[in-house]
Every structure is written in structure tokens, then in C-alpha cells.
């Protein structure tokens, strides 16, 4: 039997496929991970064909049983994948025919590999999105637990990586929570557009067989079938949207990881990561390297690259399906793997992190973090803010020249900059007084941090 005759399209060709072309165009080495979803879609398609009378009950039972047996073989690792059969679809279909005979050849009635693969990817990605949602939920819970524990822990807040105003570590961690909560919402929104079924679009124009796409969608748990056959087989918006959401998630992980790398350095000394989540040096015995957050930071570039790859893949494709779309899977697969591993790493790393409360407080005292509180104090005494800003700037300059904090200056020294300053100024210049004063929704006051944690816990189950 010639190579051409073994192909599903071999009847058109007079000579076998070149060996290089066969290898170059094959996708089975990576799309085999769709096998379970391919078989799930095929079982639903067979049952639909039985419902509309294209297959009889005996044929449906034979096909379904054969497919279930093939899936069992694949999951046991007993299935022989063949590059010559190009992809997961033809490997499964060929095995089905070998197992149950010519009735297996009827399975592909009313469909094409074009709508088949589009359905498989959506089924697979839907499952992965559900798994990612569970992982994000766990990461968000871990952040809330840590934020609540550190609601009173004082630390410097930064702008331009310069000390700005005192905040609490709990408040800072809640900023991380908000970043990941938005990511979870984006993935949930993306799932709605993933959960639409292209099966039944066939190659590009639909099929002349009396298929029931609504029934097939119900069997597969899709919200509804797609509306346009041309768009159904050529659309990869859902994949691009997922990778775009993943790129934002990884960007957030990168920002958080950058802070963990800085905070765990000897120069900052804010936190210490658990030994199990760090590595050492082959030459410097004292080293404890934050490799996990560094890799989280680095893997952002990987996912960003996949986003650009998918956008570029689609940018010049005419309708409908083109072989270019075979290149959609590896970036998508790797993005999912990277996101899931990153979530595992982030969530696993947090509970073992030790916070150096004393060092955080010491850092918050440096850099004149309460200067804005002094300006606000003068405004409440009636001084226009711009004038208050000028007064405090001069006070900071004087304190800096003596390498002192504002709180270390005497009342007489402070009054030299403004007679509006009284003894109660020292309540304002304390770190505790500064954070406690930000007692409003979204503020850094410990009371507000605890209230925000409570609201966030309620939100978790509604995202």
C-alpha cells in the first residue's frame, strides 16, 4: 500500500508524500496532548450522528466503545503514535478503523479536521482555565492570610524606589491581591468566549448532512454553537485572548518577584525566603539565591513572546482555515504550562516567607517618610498646601544635613520653620500615627487593611 493511499486525502495524489514534508507538516508530536478532548468530541459527534439518523444505534455503540478503548490505551501509555498519520486526529481515527473495521470510517461524516481541531483546543483550554482558576483562588487565599497577619507591620512605601510614606506590609500585599484578582476576572471572561462550539462548521462552509449542533454543544458542555462556519474554523481570538491574559498575569508575577528579590537581599533584609524555595552557589558557600522569584520574573518574557507569536501568526491570514494555524498550539500549550507552574511556585513560596519586622520598621523611619504628614498638619492649621510643602522641604533639608529624622528634631527646631507647629506634632511624625491617619476605604490604616481582607474574602467566591 502506497504512502499516499494511507493518507485521509491520498486519493487525489499520485505519489507518496516526501519524507521531509511528512515530518515538517506533522503535528502529532505536540498535539497528542489533545487526545482525550479529541476523543470526547468524537464521541459526542458520533452520538449526534446517531440522533439525526446518519448512523444507526449499533454503529454508534461500536464507535463509542472503540474510542473509549483507544483513550484507555493512550492513558496507559500503550498507544503507538505515528508521525506518518500527521496529527492526533488521524492517529485516533486510524486506530479506530483498525479496531472496529469500516464502520470507524463513518465517524468523520459531517465534519472536517478544521472544525475538529478548533473544538479540541477549546475543550482542552476550557479545562485548563478551570484548573488555573483553582490555582489563582489558592494564591489569592494565601495572600489574604499573609496580609491579615501583617496588617500592623510597618514598612516604607516607595515611589521611584525611594522612600515615600509609611504603609503596612498587609496593605502592600493587598495590592498584590488586587493584581491577581483582576487576572482571575480576565481568565473568567476569556472562558466565556472559549466555551462556544465550532464543531459542525466542517471545512469552512458547514455540511449537507442534517446535523444537530445544539445537541452536540449540550453533550460537550458548550454554551452554544458558533454562528458562522468561516469564522468557526479560522478564529483563534480565544487563544490570543488567553495568552494576553496570561502575559498580564506573568507581568504581575514579575513585579512581585522583583520586590521579593530586592526584599530578600542583604541590602534590604525585609524578608527571608524558605530554604526549600532557594538555591545556593557552586563556588560561594554563603549564597542563598532567590532563584524561584527570579525564574518567575524571567518566564514573563517567554509568555510575552508567545503572545507576539500568535498575533503575528494571525495577522495576514485570509479566511478560512490555513495550515499556519498548526503553529498556534505550541505557544498556547507552553503558555498554559508556564502559567500553571508559576502559580504553583508563587503559592508554594509564600507560606514559608519570614518577615523581618524590625528591619521593615527601621527602613520606614529612614527617608523622611512622615514629611507629608507634617505638611498635612500645617494645612490643617490653616497654611496653604504649597506653602506647607515649602516649609517641610526646608525642614527636611536641615534634618538631612545633620543625618537626623524629622521626629528627632526638637519642638523649637521645628517651630523655627513655622510658628504653627505645636507639641502635638510628634503624634503626627510617628510611623503609627501616619498609617493610622489613612483610615479610609483603600487606605493603609491597619483597621482598613483588616476590613479590606474581609471584603476580599467575600469577593473570592464571586469572581
Which of the two residues, 13 and 144, has the higher pLDDT score?
Answer: 144
168 phi/psi in degrees, rounded to 5: -105, 150
Q: Is the pLDDT of residue 3 over 80?
A: no
Closest alpha carbon to 53 in 13, 2, 109 = 109
pLDDT for position 278: 87
Q: Looking at the domain 366-460, which fold is it?
A: Ribonucleotide Reductase Protein R1; domain 1 (1.10.40)
| Annotated catalytic residue, options 2, 5, 265, 281 | 281
Strands 162-168 and 196-197: unpaired
pLDDT for position 5: 43
pLDDT for position 19: 76
Domain with CATH 1.10.275.10 in the chain: 3-109
- On whether the CB atoms of residues 67 and 149 are closer than 8 A, the answer is no
* Peptide bond between residue 320 and the one before it cis (omega within 30 degrees of 0): yes
Q: How confident is the model at residue 39 (pLDDT cuts 50, 70, 90)?
A: very high
Domain with CATH 1.20.200.10 in the chain: 114-200+227-361
CATH 1.20.200.10 fits domain 114-200+227-361 = yes
- The stretch 65-74 carries a mean pLDDT of 98
Q: Is the pLDDT of residue 12 over 80?
A: no
Round to whole Å and give the CA distance between 81 and 74.
9
pLDDT tens digits for 426-447?
888 899 999 999 999 999 999 9
DSSP 318: P
C-alpha cell at 318: 485570509
pLDDT for position 294: 96
Q: Is the pLDDT of residue 158 over 80?
A: yes
Q: Is 2 labeled as catalytic in the residue annotation?
A: no
Closest alpha carbon to 365 in 426, 422, 396, 406 = 406
Q: Is 160 labeled as catalytic in the residue annotation?
A: yes
User: In whole numbers, what is the pLDDT of the chain averaged over residues?
Assistant: 94
355 phi/psi in degrees, rounded to 5: -100, 130
Round to whole Å and give the CA distance between 196 and 371.
56
- On whether the CB atoms of residues 227 and 207 are closer than 8 A, the answer is no
Which of the two residues, 461 and 90, has the higher pLDDT score?
Answer: 90
The number of beta carbons lying within 10 Å of the beta carbon of residue 50 is 18
pTM of this structure: 0.92
- The stretch 376-399 carries a mean pLDDT of 93
Round to whole Å and give the CA distance between 365 and 297.
30
| Annotated catalytic residue, options 27, 160, 254, 265 | 160
Closest alpha carbon to 418 in 459, 456, 462, 374 = 374
pLDDT tens digits for 304-323?
999 999 999 999 999 999 99
* Percentage of the residues of the chain whose pLDDT score is greater than 90: 86
- Select from 1.10.10.10, 1.10.275.10, 2.60.120.260, 3.20.20.70 the CATH code of 3-109: 1.10.275.10
Domain with CATH 1.10.40.30 in the chain: 366-460
pLDDT for position 53: 98
Q: Give the CA distances from residue 190 to residues 165, 187, 241, 325, 454, in Å, rounded to whole numbers and listed in that order.
A: 38, 5, 7, 20, 27
Q: How confident is the model at residue 403 (pLDDT cuts 50, 70, 90)?
A: confident
Round to whole Å and give the CA distance between 77 and 35.
12
Round to whole Å and give the CA distance between 116 and 130.
22
DSSP 33: G
Burial of 63 (0-12, 13-18, 19+ CB in 10 A): buried
Amino acid at each position: 500500500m502506497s504512502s499516499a493511499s494511507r493518507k485521509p486525502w491520498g486519493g487525489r495524489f499520485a505519489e507518496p508524500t516526501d519524507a521531509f514534508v511528512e515530518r515538517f507538516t506533522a503535528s502529532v508530536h505536540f498535539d497528542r496532548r489533545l487526545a482525550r478532548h479529541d476523543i470526547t468530541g468524537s464521541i459526542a459527534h458520533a452520538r449526534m450522528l446517531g440522533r439525526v439518523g446518519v448512523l444507526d444505534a449499533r454503529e454508534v455503540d461500536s464507535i463509542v466503545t472503540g474510542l473509549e478503548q483507544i483513550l484507555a490505551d493512550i492513558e496507559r501509555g500503550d498507544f503507538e503514535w505515528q508521525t506518518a498519520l500527521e496529527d492526533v486526529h488521524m492517529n485516533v481515527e486510524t486506530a479506530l478503523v483498525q479496531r472496529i473495521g469500516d464502520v470507524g470510517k463513518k465517524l468523520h461524516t459531517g465534519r472536517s479536521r478544521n472544525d475538529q481541531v478548533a473544538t479540541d483546543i477549546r475543550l482542552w483550554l476550557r479545562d485548563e482555565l478551570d484548573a488555573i482558576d483553582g490555582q489563582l483562588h489558592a494564591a489569592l487565599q494565601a495572600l489574604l492570610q499573609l496580609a491579615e497577619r501583617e496588617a500592623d507591620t510597618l514598612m516604607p512605601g516607595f515611589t521611584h524606589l525611594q522612600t515615600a510614606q509609611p504603609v503596612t506590609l498587609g496593605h502592600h500585599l493587598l495590592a498584590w491581591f488586587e493584581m491577581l484578582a483582576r487576572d482571575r476576572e480576565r481568565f473568567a471572561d476569556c472562558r466565556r468566549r472559549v466555551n462556544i462550539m465550532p464543531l459542525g462548521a466542517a471545512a469552512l462552509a458547514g455540511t449537507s448532512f442534517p446535523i444537530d449542533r445544539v445537541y452536540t454543544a449540550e453533550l460537550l458542555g458548550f454554551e452554544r454553537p458558533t454562528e458562522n462556519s468561516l469564522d468557526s474554523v479560522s478564529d483563534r481570538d480565544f487563544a490570543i485572548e488567553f495568552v494576553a491574559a496570561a502575559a498580564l498575569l506573568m507581568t504581575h508575577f514579575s513585579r512581585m518577584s522583583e520586590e521579593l528579590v530586592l526584599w530578600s537581599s542583604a541590602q534590604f533584609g525585609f524578608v527571608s525566603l524558605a530554604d526549600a524555595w532557594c538555591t545556593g552557589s557552586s563556588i560561594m558557600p554563603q549564597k542563598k539565591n532567590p532563584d524561584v522569584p527570579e525564574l518567575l520574573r524571567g518566564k514573563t518574557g517567554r509568555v510575552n513572546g508567545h503572545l507576539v507569536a500568535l498575533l503575528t501568526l494571525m495577522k495576514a491570514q485570509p479566511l478560512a482555515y490555513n495550515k499556519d494555524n498548526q503553529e498556534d498550539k505550541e505557544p498556547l500549550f507552553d503558555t498554559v504550562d508556564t502559567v500553571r507552574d508559576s502559580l504553583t511556585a508563587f503559592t508554594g513560596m509564600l507560606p514559608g516567607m519570614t518577615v523581618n519586622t524590625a528591619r521593615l520598621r527601621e527602613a520606614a523611619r529612614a527617608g523622611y517618610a512622615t514629611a507629608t504628614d507634617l505638611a498635612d498638619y500645617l494645612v490643617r492649621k490653616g497654611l496653604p498646601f504649597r506653602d506647607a510643602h515649602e516649609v517641610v522641604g526646608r525642614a527636611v533639608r536641615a534634618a538631612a544635613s545633620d543625618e537626623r529624622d524629622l521626629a528627632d528634631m526638637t519642638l523649637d527646631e521645628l517651630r523655627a520653620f513655622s510658628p504653627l507647629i505645636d507639641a502635638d506634632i510628634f503624634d503626627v511624625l510617628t510611623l503609627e500615627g501616619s498609617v493610622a491617619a489613612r483610615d479610609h476605604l483603600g487606605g493603609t490604616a491597619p483597621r482598613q487593611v483588616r476590613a479590606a481582607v474581609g471584603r476580599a474574602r467575600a469577593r473570592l467566591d464571586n469572581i
